[in-house]
C-alpha cells in the first residue's frame, strides 16, 4: 500500500514537473503595432497572439503592444534592433530600405481594371502580394534580410478615397489642394491633378485635417473610425483615386526567427495568415459600415466624383503603370521593374477571381493558408 502511494506521488510529481517545464520553455513573442488600442489593427494583433499559442501547442505565445512599444514610423528600425520581435511594417515609411517591395505595392491601382467589389480589393491584393514576394521575388525578401528581418506576410486596406474638409469632386476642385498621401503612387496622382502631395504619418492626419494643414487625406474609409477621422472629415469623395495600401502585416526580427524551432516557425506563418485575413476582412466590413454611417450623418456629405474626374483618374492609372518601373530605376537603380510588374499582374488577376465568395475572416484565413502560407519552407525561409 505504501509502495503504491509512493509510486503515485512520484508520478504526480513527474507530471507536475513536466507541466512546469513546458510552461517554462514557452517562448513569448513581443508583437508591436502602430494601431491604437481597441482598433481593427490591435484586435487583429490579438488574434495573431491567440493563433500563435494555438498552433504551436502553447510553446510560443504573443504579447501585443498597440501604439506603445513602437509606432509605425519607428517599426522597421525597432524590429531590426530587436526592440520588438515582430510587428506590422508600413513599407512606404521606409521607402529607401524596401524599394522592390514598394514597387510591387504601388501597382495596386491595377485593381481599378478588375470587376472586384470595392470592399474586396484588399482581400485580393493581400493574397497576391504575399504570393509574389514569397515565391517570385527573392530580391524583395533580401530587403528584409538587410534590415535584420524576415518577411512573414501581407495585408491590405480597402480602396482609397478622398476624405476632405470641403467638397472635392472635379479636377478643378483638386487644383492646389493639400493632399496627405500614404505612398508615392498617390503622390504622383496628386501632382497629376495639380494638387500638392503632403507626406505625413497616419497618426498625424487627424491633427492635419482639424487644423487645416491638409485639405484632404487619400485614405480608405475604415480610418474614419480607427483614427477618429469621422470627427474632422466633412466630405468624402468615393471611387478616386483607388488602389489599396498593401504592406507587411508581419515582419519578424531575424535573430528571433532563427531561434525558433520548426513547429514554432510554422505557427508564426499560420498566425500571420490569420491576422492578415482578420485585418483585411475587418477593413472590408468597416469600409461598408463607415460609408453607410457617413451618409446618415448631418456633418458629412458623401460625393461621387464627376465624370471628368473619373476619366482623368483612369487616364492617370494607365500612364502611371508605365512609369513606375522607370521611376524606380531612376531613383533606386532597379533595372528589372518592368519584368516585376509583368510577373505580378497575372497574380493580381488570379486573386481577383478567388475572393468573390469569401464570406468570413475564417474563410479568408483558410484561403491564405492553403494557397500561400502553408507552402513556405520555414526551415529555409529567413536563413
Q: What is the CATH number of the domain that holds 134?
A: 3.40.190.170
Pairing of strands 149-151, 235-237: unpaired
Report the candidate in 151, 117, 130 with the shortest Cα–Cα distance to residue 371: 130
Mark whether 132 and 257 lie in a shared domain.
yes
% residues pLDDT > 70 (the chain): 94
Total domain count, the chain: 2
- Start-to-end C-alpha separation, the chain: 57
What pLDDT is recorded for position 321?
A: 87
What is d(CA 216, CA 198) in angstroms, rounded to the nearest whole number?
10
Give the residue among 29, 121, 41 at the shortest CA–CA distance from 89: 41
Q: Helices 307-332 & 184-192, crossing angle to 10 degrees? A: 130
Examine the domain organization and report whether 270 and 353 are in the same domain. yes
Is residue 126 domain-shared with residue 257, that is, in the same domain?
yes
> How many Å apart are CA 266 and CA 269, to the nearest integer?
5
Helices (H), 56-202: 75-80, 99-105, 121-136, 138-146, 171-174, 184-192
- For the full predicted model, state whether its pTM sits above 0.95: no
117-145 pLDDT, tens digit per residue, is: 889 999 999 999 999 999 999 999 999 99
User: Is 154 inside a domain boundary?
Assistant: yes
The tens digit of pLDDT for each residue in 18-73 reads 444 444 579 999 999 999 999 989 999 999 999 999 999 999 999 999 999 999 99
Task: Give the CATH number for residue 209.
Answer: 3.40.190.10
Domain that holds residue 205: 161-241+298-307
Neighbours of 346 (CB within 10 A): 10
Amino acid at each position: 500500500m505504501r509502495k503504491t502511494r509512493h509510486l503515485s506521488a512520484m508520478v504526480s510529481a513527474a507530471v507536475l514537473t513536466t507541466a512546469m517545464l513546458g510552461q517554462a520553455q514557452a517562448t513569448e513573442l513581443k508583437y508591436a503595432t502602430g494601431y491604437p488600442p481597441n482598433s481593427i489593427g490591435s484586435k487583429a494583433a490579438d488574434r495573431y497572439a491567440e493563433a500563435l499559442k494555438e498552433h504551436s501547442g502553447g510553446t510560443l505565445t504573443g504579447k501585443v503592444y498597440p501604439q506603445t512599444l513602437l509606432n509605425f514610423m519607428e517599426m522597421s528600425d525597432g524590429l531590426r534592433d530587436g526592440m520588438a520581435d515582430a510587428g506590422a511594417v508600413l513599407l512606404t515609411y521606409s521607402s529607401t530600405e524596401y524599394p522592390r517591395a514598394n514597387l510591387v505595392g504601388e501597382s495596386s491601382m491595377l485593381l481599378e481594371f478588375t470587376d472586384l467589389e470595392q470592399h474586396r480589393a484588399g482581400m485580393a491584393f493581400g493574397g497576391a502580394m504575399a504570393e509574389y514576394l514569397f515565391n517570385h521575388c527573392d530580391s524583395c525578401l533580401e530587403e528584409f534580410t538587410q534590415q535584420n528581418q524576415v518577411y512573414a506576410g501581407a495585408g491590405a486596406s480597402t480602396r482609397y478615397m478622398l476624405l476632405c474638409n470641403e467638397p472635392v469632386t472635379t479636377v478643378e476642385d483638386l487644383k492646389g489642394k493639400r493632399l496627405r498621401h500614404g505612398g508615392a503612387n498617390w503622390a504622383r496622382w496628386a501632382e497629376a491633378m495639380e494638387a500638392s502631395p503632403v507626406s505625413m504619418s497616419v497618426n498625424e492626419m487627424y491633427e492635419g485635417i482639424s487644423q487645416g494643414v491638409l485639405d484632404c487625406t487619400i485614405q480608405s474609409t475604415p480610418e474614419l473610425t480607427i483614427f477618429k477621422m469621422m470627427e474632422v472629415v466633412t466630405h468624402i469623395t468615393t471611387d478616386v483615386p483607388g488602389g489599396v495600401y498593401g504592406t507587411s502585416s508581419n515582419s519578424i526580427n531575424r535573430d528571433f526567427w532563427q531561434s525558433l524551432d520548426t513547429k514554432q516557425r510554422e505557427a508564426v506563418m499560420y498566425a500571420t495568415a490569420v491576422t492578415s485575413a482578420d485585418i483585411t476582412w475587418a477593413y472590408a466590413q468597416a469600409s461598408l459600415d463607415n460609408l453607410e454611417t457617413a451618409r446618415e450623418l448631418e456633418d458629412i456629405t458623401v460625393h461621387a466624383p464627376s465624370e471628368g474626374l473619373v476619366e482623368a483618374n483612369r487616364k492617370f492609372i494607365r500612364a502611371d503603370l508605365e512609369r513606375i518601373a522607370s521611376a524606380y530605376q531612376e531613383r533606386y537603380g532597379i533595372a528589372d521593374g518592368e519584368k516585376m510588374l509583368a510577373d505580378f499582374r497575372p497574380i493580381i488577376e488570379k486573386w481577383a477571381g478567388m475572393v468573390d465568395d469569401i464570406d468570413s475572416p475564417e474563410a479568408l484565413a483558410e484561403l491564405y493558408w492553403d494557397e500561400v502560407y502553408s507552402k513556405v519552407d520555414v526551415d529555409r525561409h529567413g536563413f
